[in-house]
Chain A
Amino acid sequence: MMDMFPPDRSQYPAKKADGTLDIDLTSGKYLKLWQGPNHPGITGNMSVELTVCGDEVVEGKTHVGYLHRGFEKLMERRTFIQVFPIVCRVCVPEPDFNEYCYAACVEELAGIEVPEMAQWIRTLILEMGRINSYMMYLGGQAGALGQGVIGQWTTYARDLMLDRFEELTGARIYHMFILPGGVRDTLPEGFQQRMEETLREIESTLKDVYDVMFCNAVFKARTVGMGVIDPSWLEPYGVTGPNARAASVAKDVRKDAPYLVYDQLDFEPVIGHDSDIYTRADVRRRDIWVSVDLIRQILAKMPKDGAVMAPIPNVLHWQIPRGETYIRGECSRGEYGYYLVTDGSGYPRRINVRGPSYTHAMALLERMIVGINISDVAALMVSLHTYPPEIER
């Protein structure tokens, strides 16, 4: 059916001498649309400036900066312990990764050894956060294509996990639980059994989501074959995480460079082969199953008790010798990292947050958005699982 009407290439913009597109906005052929910050099909507060010709996007430019608070500058004004409450607000839906990476950087430069129980609890929290983030992604991916019921189910499952977070750390969204030196507290009584109930609810939600979303003919028709990331783009564009794993490249920091207790846990990175939107969603769904299994393994293998916090010096006068380091982890979107530079004073010299969406939402999205239909722009953006706060911090 589609080849009865071959695309009209005469509408495509010509290229100028230096390779940029020759789009004449006054010619009446092109329209500039802002899929702007106030839009239901955006994963947060960023905008994409689209130039469309009819229904097809000819050029796209990502605009970020709506959530810029100058984190890296604020962190330089605060002592090492004062940085820790603001660090979790860099990434809103999955804040624990920031705390872990920052704490690990400080521990490495200050020479603090984290006790074993704290390592296990940290891994548990990171996996719980990963499930939450993936649940929100599934709701957003289906919602971008018009299927709102998935968002209702996954937000409910996420709420159950947030209850577990509240029980463990005291807050739903911003936990501030992982400190340099360990974690704040140990697991409460009966946590394992309540977590098992939550995991069973999550599994049953996932089965429903699979039946309703992934077996849905409309979802398949709109996402299979769309938004393909060529495997040769992975290294030049710095693509990590499920976006890369869906292109058959098993990039998972938990396996490549194990941190915390991942070398004692038994799992395989989830890989997909056609790197389209459907496969990326499927890789993330299967990753939730892996995380559920990992949480069960952690709770079974974790030591029964132990110290959760290593002794740290007086935080009011904590000075760390000059040095620099980079700690990375695998968050739900890809490789997350913190680069910390200290200069011997009580304040960090420079902290740089490397969020995975930095590379996905800017250069990669602008490359992939050319030639797709307007109605698929939202689905494509959500399928890269970008969270704007970590792009502009």
Chain B
Amino acid sequence: MKPELMKRMVKGPDGLEFEVEPLRDYYCEAPPTVMPAAYGKIVEDLFNWARSESIWILGFGTGCGAIEMRPLMTPRFDAYRYGVQWRPTPRQANLFIISGYLSTKTLKRAIRAYEQMQNPKYVIGLGSCTINGGMYWDSYNTIKRLDDYLPVDLYIAGCMPRPEALLAGFMDLKKLIRAGNGEGANQYAENFAWYKENQKRVIHDWDMPDYNW
């Protein structure tokens, strides 16, 4: 653990000494909670329609698949006409596309970004590496099953999937959300201890809080 993350006494600019514990002080201690549907069926259907028509993707290119996301932002394949945009921060995004294999180092950052996204949020696993490890099935540094670590709503197979396959995947995700099945965030909250245990088993130096919100 890095020394600046340990619990210690610091002296402030005005000379006052106080204790800080960086991994605990600035973070909420409560784990995530399940958020049930807040309104009746008609209103919830309207909200789900609205959510499905404005999917904002976190622009974090975690692996190979990021290269086929760039053509989607151009007029040839144009994902913007479907309401899909790329946003730089997790706070403004509700879809996280894990584009390909995840090394354990990136998995830690992906978990952090995912937990910082606001509910309701969805995850797409892009490429065959998220399904069963792909061609790195015997690698010591990549994970083999994405849904042990993050709740996945949809997989898009391929190596790598064409931009049209990604657009078809977005269509399927919209149908899923409109049917009320985009419950990845609630699934994560219900099985939080199981996900955390899986994550901590592969990430050996865990120097972040249990829940980054």
Contact = CB atoms under 8 A, between A and B. Distances in A.
- The reply to whether chain A is a binding partner of chain B is yes
Interface of A: 25-26, 28, 36-40, 44-45, 65-70, 73-74, 77, 85-86, 89, 92-93, 136, 139, 151-152, 155-156, 158-159, 172-174, 389
A172 B59 CA distance: 22
A37 B106 contact: yes
B43 to A, nearest CB: 34
A67 B135 contact: no
Contacts of A39: 88
Contacts of B211: none
Interface stretch (B32-40, B65-73, B166-174, B198-206): B65-73
Given A26-B10, A155-B74, A173 B139 contact: no
A45 B63 contact: yes
Interface of B: 4, 10-11, 13, 58-64, 66-68, 70-71, 73-76, 88, 90, 101, 103, 105-106, 109, 113, 135-136, 138-142, 159-160, 162
A136 B159 CA distance: 20
Candidate in B4, B138, B139 with the most chain A CB atoms within 10 angstroms: B139
Contacts of A74: 136, 138-139
A378 to B, nearest CB: 12
Contacts of A174: 159-160
A363 B11 CA distance: 35
B105 A152 contact: no
B141 A66 contact: no
A175 to B, nearest CB: 12
Contacts of A67: 63, 103, 106
Q: Which 4 A-B pairs have the closest CB atoms?
A: A38-B60, A66-B106, A155-B74, A70-B139
Contacts of A77: 138
A70 B140 CA distance: 7
A70 B66 CA distance: 20
Given A69-B101, A69-B142, 10 more contacts: A25-B4, A45-B61, A66-B109, A67-B63, A67-B103, A69-B141, A70-B140, A70-B141, A92-B67, A139-B70
Contact of A69 (B61, B73, B76, B103): B103
B105 A66 contact: yes
A175 B185 CA distance: 37
A330 to B, nearest CB: 22
A38 B88 CA distance: 8
A363 B134 CA distance: 33
Contacts of A89: 64, 135
A129 to B, nearest CB: 13
28 contacts: A25-B4, A37-B60, A38-B59, A38-B113, A44-B61, A44-B66, A45-B66, A45-B106, A66-B105, A66-B106, A67-B63, A67-B106, A68-B103, A69-B103, A69-B141, A70-B140, A70-B141, A74-B138, A139-B70, A151-B70, A152-B73, A152-B75, A155-B74, A158-B71, A159-B71, A159-B74, A173-B68, A174-B160
Contacts of A155: 70-71, 73-74
Contacts of A86: 135
B60 A73 contact: no
A65 B105 contact: yes
Given A67-B63, A159-B71, A159-B74, A73 B140 contact: yes
Nearest to A27: B13
A68 B68 contact: no
Contacts of A172: 68, 162
A45 B159 contact: no
A159 B64 contact: no
A44 B62 CA distance: 8
A139 to B, nearest CB: 8
A38 B76 CA distance: 26
Nearest to A28: B13
